[in-house]
Amino acid sequence: MFELLNHQGVRKVLIIYNFIALLAFAFTAAYPVWLYEPVGLGGLGFRPSFIAYAMGAGGASQALWILLVFPPLHKRIGTGGVLRLCAWAWPISFTINPMCNLLLRHDLRIVFWIIFPLQAVFGCGVAMAFSKIPKPH
For the chain, the distance separating the N- and C-terminal CA atoms, rounded to the nearest angstrom, is: 14
Burial class (CB in 10 A: 0-12, 13-18, 19+), 20: buried
User: What is the domain range of residue 41?
Assistant: 2-131
* Residues 98 and 42: beta-carbon distance below 8 Å: yes
pLDDT at 133: 52
- Which amino acid type is present at position 105? R
Give the mean pLDDT of the chain. Answer: 86
Q: Which residues have CB under 8 Å from 54's CB, separation 6+?
A: 35, 46, 120
pLDDT digits (tens, 9 = 90+) for 87-121: 788 788 888 989 999 999 999 999 999 999 998 88
Task: Determine, yes or no, domain membership for 79.
Answer: yes
Share of the chain above pLDDT 90, in %: 34
pTM exceeding 0.85:
no
pLDDT at 131: 66
- Which amino acid type is present at position 104? L
pLDDT at 94: 83
Task: Determine, yes or no, domain membership for 137.
Answer: no
Task: Determine, yes or no, domain membership for 136.
Answer: no
Q: How sure is the predictor about 136, in pLDDT bands with cuts at 50, 70 and 90? A: very low
Q: How many CB atoms lie within 10 A of CB 4?
A: 12
